[in-house]
Each structure stands twice: as C-alpha cells, then as structure tokens.
C-alpha cells in the first residue's frame, strides 16, 4: 500500500508518518493490515533536512495541492490511503480569502477527483482533516456531529464544504472517505503558525523553553483541546475504521475536553514544579482579532460517537499528561 500525507511537513503530518513507519502497515479497505511499501509527505514547502523519525523510503515532496496535475501524480496507484491535512489555517484564511479557497477547496477537490479516478477493485480510503471551526453563530451548550454547521470564519466555511464533499463522494461510491473534526491539537513544537488557536500550544511551549510569552486572549478564555499523541492515533484509527460503523455521515468529532487558559497555566505550573523546570513569564497582550475568531467556536462538543466501541478513538487522561507527553516527545 502507498500512503500519501498532504500537509505532510506539518506537525500532524509528521506525527502520522512516524507512527505508520513504526507500524509498517495500515488496514486497507478489506479491514486487514496491508504492508506500507511507499510513503509520500507532500507540502507547499519541505525542510532541507529530513525530520527525525522518517525512514529513508519515506519521501518528502514540495508542491501545490491546488494544482490538479500535481495532485493526480501523487495518487498514482489503486492500493492507496490518503491523509489530507493540507490547509490554509484559521487566521491565515481570514487574511487571505482567495488563498484559502484555492488551497482548502480546490486542493480538496483535486485530491478527491484523483482518488475517484483510481477506482479499481476497491474504493480508496481518505481521511480529511476538518475542524470545530465548522460551527459558529448561536450555538447550543454542546455541539455534536448532528449540530447544524454555521461557520463564522472562512477557514470553518472551507472545512464545512470539505466535509460535504467527502460525504457525497462516499455516497456515490467514488471514495471511502471520512472527516476528522479536530479540536485544537496541543502541544505543537517549533515556531507558531497562522492558526488563531496557536496560543493554546504557545502558552505551554514558550514558558517551558524559558521564554516569556505574550498571551493574546483573556485567562478566562476556554478552548477545546486534544493532545498530539491521541490526535495522531485518532486519525489513524479513523482511517482503519469499518465504513459500516461510520454510516452515511462521515464526519466524526474527535475526543476532546474544554479548558480555560487559567486551567492550562495551573497544569503547566504543576508539571513544571514536578520536573523542576523554570518557566518563562506569561504576560497579557490582548489581540481582538484572535479573540473574535476563538470566541466564535463552540465551548463543548459531544464526542460520544468517537468514543463508542465501534470507533474507539482515543481520549486524553488530563492536561498534565498532555504536557508530560510533549516534554517526552519534544523537550
């Protein structure tokens, strides 16, 4: 089997690649493990040096997912699984509407059409990375997979359309697609990206590195999060899930919990004390644009479907454990 990861040079893409390389196999359309004999990590830009944890046969390729020919060249065999993670993210999409449409909509359609063209004896599988940003406006106390999507951002709009495309391509039998409705994934290493949710990682990452951090949101701000290890495991498990367990609605809210920034800082200080880490200072630096985007997102999401036995997607034990995992993986 060939595995393609678009957005493969990003945080989640690299995480998925590393885990699959350790396993060496992925369940195919028949539900049985199939050996992975080829892997391509595709992104708009790739590092000059191959990241740690990638075997020599994992290829990194730079290109434009919005280019139909490039997308088609990636998907060049029937025995294939695609993790479609490439995207212009939240704040970046607000600044560049046309770029968001080009990458998030045209790019997703290119991937789906390339998979549709590869239909052989079996339907190829796809996991599309969606987001809680598909919700917005007047929201109930807790959203669910059945809540009407009324996104309040360009990013959320493109993800909602992507989910609908995946559902319809699956309904038509073109692709065995599934959409992972991700909460904010933490803790991301390295430099910040253009995501409005970036503060939820930076509030841990920067102080743990001994750097001061300017917090762009109020301490009372709440946000739904999922630890990086379980986000990666959830994407892989969703790829391997039985199509019958998903039914007609292929969008699944991944397990999550909502925390306030105050709770995040308290957990950070607890783990730092345990491990004798001297933290950098956290100071307020309100950013109305970031607060507006984050404030449009739901504060609670029912993840019962994801946790149910049929899917069994993994959930976090605590914020403290997420921080400990980050220090073990990237500290």
Catalytic sites, residue numbers: 155
State how beta strands 125-131 and 222-227 pair. unpaired
User: How many CB atoms within 10 Å of residue 260?
Assistant: 16
Bridge pairing between strands 222-227 and 257-260: antiparallel
Which helix (DSSP H) or strand (DSSP E) does residue 103 occupy? none
DSSP-assigned beta bridge partners for residue 185: 226
Q: What is the DSSP code string of 281-327?
A: PEEE---HHHHHHHHTS-S-B--HHHHSTTT-----S-HHHHHHHHH
| String of DSSP letters for 239-287 | HHS-HHHH-S--EEEPP-EEEEHHHHHHHHHHHHHHTTPPPPPEEE---
The contacts of residue 244 (CB under 8 Å, 6+ apart) are: none
Q: Do 14 and 58 contact (CB within 8 A), yes or no?
A: no
Longest dimension (CA), the chain: 58
Between helix 154-171 and helix 107-117 the angle, nearest 10°, is 10
């Amino acid at each position: 089997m060939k595995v393609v990861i678009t957005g493969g040079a990003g945080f989640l893409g690299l995480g998925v690649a590393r885990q699959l390389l350790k396993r060496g196999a992925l369940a195919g359309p028949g539900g049985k493990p199939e050996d992975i004999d080829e892997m391509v990590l595709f992104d708009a830009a790739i590092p000059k040096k191959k990241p740690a944890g990638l075997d020599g046969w994992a290829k990194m390729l730079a290109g434009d997912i919005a280019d139909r020919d490039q997308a088609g060249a990636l998907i060049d065999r029937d025995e294939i699984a695609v993790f479609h993670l490439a995207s212009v993210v939240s704040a970046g999409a607000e600044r560049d509407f046309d770029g968001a449409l080009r990458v998030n909509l045209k790019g997703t359609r290119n991937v789906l059409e390339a998979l549709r063209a590869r239909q052989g004896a079996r339907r190829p599988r796809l996991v599309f990375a969606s987001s809680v940003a598909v919700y917005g406006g007047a929201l109930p106390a807790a959203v669910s997979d059945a809540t009407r999507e009324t996104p309040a951002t360009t990013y959320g709009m493109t993800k909602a359309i992507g989910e609908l495309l995946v559902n319809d391509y699956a309904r038509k039998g073109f692709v065995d697609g599934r959409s992972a409705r991700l909460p904010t994934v933490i803790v991301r290493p390295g430099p910040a990206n253009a995501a409005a949710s970036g503060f939820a990682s930076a509030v841990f990452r920067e102080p743990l590195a001994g750097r001061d951090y300017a917090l762009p949101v109020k301490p009372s701000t709440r946000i739904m999060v999922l630890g990086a290890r379980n986000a990666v495991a959830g994407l892989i498990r969703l790829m391997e899930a039985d199509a019958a367990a998903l039914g007609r609605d292929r969008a699944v809210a991944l397990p999550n919990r909502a925390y306030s920034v105050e709770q995040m800082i308290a957990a950070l200080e607890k783990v730092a004390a345990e491990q004798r880490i001297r933290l950098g200072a956290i100071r307020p630096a309100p950013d109305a644009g970031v607060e507006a985007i984050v404030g449009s997102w739901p504060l609670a999401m029912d993840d019962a479907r994801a946790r149910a036995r049929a899917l069994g997607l993994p959930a976090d034990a605590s914020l403290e454990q997420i921080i400990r995992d980050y220090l073990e993986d990237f500290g």
